[in-house]
Amino acid sequence: MSRVRFEGVAKEYGPVVALQPLDLDIREGEFLTLLGPSGCGKTTTLRLIAGLITPTRGRLYLGDDEVSLLPPEKRNVGMVFQDYALFPHMTIRDNIAFGLVERGGLDKAAIGRRVSELLELVSLPGVEARYPSQLSGGQQQRIAVARAVAFAPKVLLLDEPLGALDLKLRESMQVELRRIQQELSITTVAVTHDQTEAMNMSDRIAIMNHGVLEQIGTADEIYDRPKTRYVADFVGQISFLPARVSARDGEWTVVESMGRTRRGRGDATATLGRDVALALRPERLRVVADGTVPAGNDSLSGTVTGVRFIGSRHIVTVDAGDGVLVVAEMSRNEPPCDPGTRATVCWNPADAIVLAQ
């Protein structure tokens, strides 16, 4: 395994900038996911590591070796594609063994032992003689991983590896992929636009936006302490109240918002008079129909415009006026709110996040 390091790496296609100068250090043995919508630069970053494209400028390292201009076959990198790219005319044994045979250096018996080891690793012993078409999507995905790590690559790259699977199978394969990665202790870089997938599998997540790295951190850091409005909005459900900074009070940022003085955390650099947003996660909110606000809580009143039941909880939307909609989660055991009724949304000020507009 090996760390991956970007030093001012950028990629341009004529006037089109696919990746702004990027400084990124992927730790040895960690699972890092590049997360973002289409066109954000995450696939470009992955292809740069693989050597499928070369940087316009900057330096890229695998371990201590600069590989900026090195061709893919010289990088010792394994890759799993969204469509798995298994050879349909080859048996599972021959698919997994393909890279070992091409590289040479192992006899037939050694290759057979390696294939058996990998099938045990991916929990599919005994399928050597089958063909890809005889396996399910999830099984094919695991065979693709086995093939990618057969020759002990320095880095494993996963390009939307679960995108072709249905939801239930995708959830189980997230656990399986993470297990395999941890057993191998291999540095892994994945690309996805699925935030749940990223949060379930990753040691750290890198949020990309128009070729720029917006934030990198653990799932908890990204979710609870987003540094920008883009990150807060992209990861999870969130509501924004328009606000303006009026004071600083130690670790608190004091703002004027929706006709009241409120407090929140975050954006310690916000200057007085600056327009910001007060961001609220739905699970941190409580909806009360009688207007009784717990001591020390902040609040906002409005009209309930929608209630959705999603199994363990209700999702309640409240129109607070001036075009502001607040989304809150309620336990299914709490008194329900009916659309059209007045209600008060309340929260602990410590759960409010101040973000630059």
Dihedral, 44, 46, 52, 58 alpha carbons, nearest 10? 70
Percent of the chain with pLDDT over 90: 71
| Mean of pLDDT values over 17-23 | 97
pLDDT computed for residue 112 by the predictor: 92
Residue 1: pLDDT above 70? no
pLDDT category at 210 given cuts 50, 70, 90 is very high
DSSP string, 148-201: HHTT--SEEEEESTTTTS-HHHHHHHHHHHHHHHHHHT-EEEEEES-HHHHHHH
Q: Is 231 helix (H, G, I), strand (E, B) or coil?
A: helix
User: Which whole-number Å values give the CA distances from 357 to 206, 229, 243, 261, in the listed order?
Assistant: 21, 7, 9, 18
Question: Which residue has better confidence, 259 or 164?
Answer: 259
Q: What is the pLDDT of residue 163?
A: 77
Answer with the residue of higher pLDDT: 120 or 251: 120
Domain 238-356: CATH architecture, name and number where available: Beta Barrel (2.40)
Superfamily of domain 4-230: P-loop containing nucleotide triphosphate hydrolases (3.40.50.300)
Region 243-251 average pLDDT = 89
Mean pLDDT calculated for residue range 122-144: 91
Whole-prediction pTM: 0.91
Computed over every residue of the chain, the mean pLDDT equals 91
Task: Give the mean pLDDT of 227-254.
Answer: 92
Binning the chain into helix, strand and coil, the percentages to the nearest 5 are 25, 35, 35
Q: What is the per-residue pLDDT for 63?
A: 93
Residue 311: how many CA atoms within 13 Å on its side-chain side? 0
Sequence ranges of the domains in the chain: 4-230, 238-356
What value does the mean pLDDT take over residues 300-319? 91
Tokens of 115: 């294939």
Q: Are 192 and 198 in contact (CB under 8 A)?
A: yes
